[in-house]
Amino acid sequence: MERVGAARDLVLGYIHALNAIDDAMRVAIPSLERLADVLGLIRSRRISRRGQVGAYSYAVHGAGCRFVCDNGTEVDVDFAADGSEVFDLWRLRWYGLSLPEPRDVTDQDLRAAARSLQPLLAEVRPGWFSVATDITCAGCTTPERCPRPQWLCGPLRPAGAATQLKGVMSESLKVSKLDSPSS
């Protein structure tokens, strides 16, 4: 059980790191509505396939992008046809190994951890996950258009979801300090 707890912390850290990247990209490119839009910007030659945005370097590949923080932490993400951010066990594991204090977690523990975070995460196909978009928060006036992982914004609606994820949110706030570019 302790191993799955460590894997769960790693998954939450990945999500926080992805959120920090999203924030940095939006500051650098105000027209960016969602992270997946970098693919269109590259196709239209408005940005290059590789570059630097704030504390992150990025390299676009196929259906996704790999971001590397100044501290060496790597976050690789793919984009689904609908623009949602998706990641698999390999990406989670690679993220863990790239942390300043590397964490080597087995695929089995990562899978169990990611599945334990439902409904926060949705398994979009076997072994591939996305942050669920059907959980709304009190901070969003238009949750269907909220570009952020909505459970990060504030108290959740409905109350049942808030109760269910209360522990996840407090746990994830501890992890965010570990994975932020300023730490």
H helix and E strand count, the chain: 5, 9
Q: Which of 84, 92, 141 is nearest to 117 (CA)?
A: 92
- pLDDT tens per residue, range 92-150: 999 999 999 999 999 999 999 999 998 889 999 999 999 876 554 444 444 444 444 44
What would the two tokens of residue 165 be?
């994820």
What is the rounded average pLDDT of the residues 66-71? 96
* pLDDT at residue 20, as a whole number: 92
Which of 38-42, 72-76, 131-135, 159-163 has the weakest average pLDDT?
159-163
For residues 77 and 181, give the distance between their C-alpha atoms in angstroms, rounded to a whole number: 18
* pLDDT at residue 165, as a whole number: 38
Q: Which of 64, 66, 69, 67 is nearest to 85 (CA)?
A: 64
Question: pTM for the whole thing?
Answer: 0.74
Residue 182 carries which side chain, given as an amino acid letter?
A: S
Strand 50-53 vs strand 85-88: parallel, antiparallel, or unpaired? unpaired
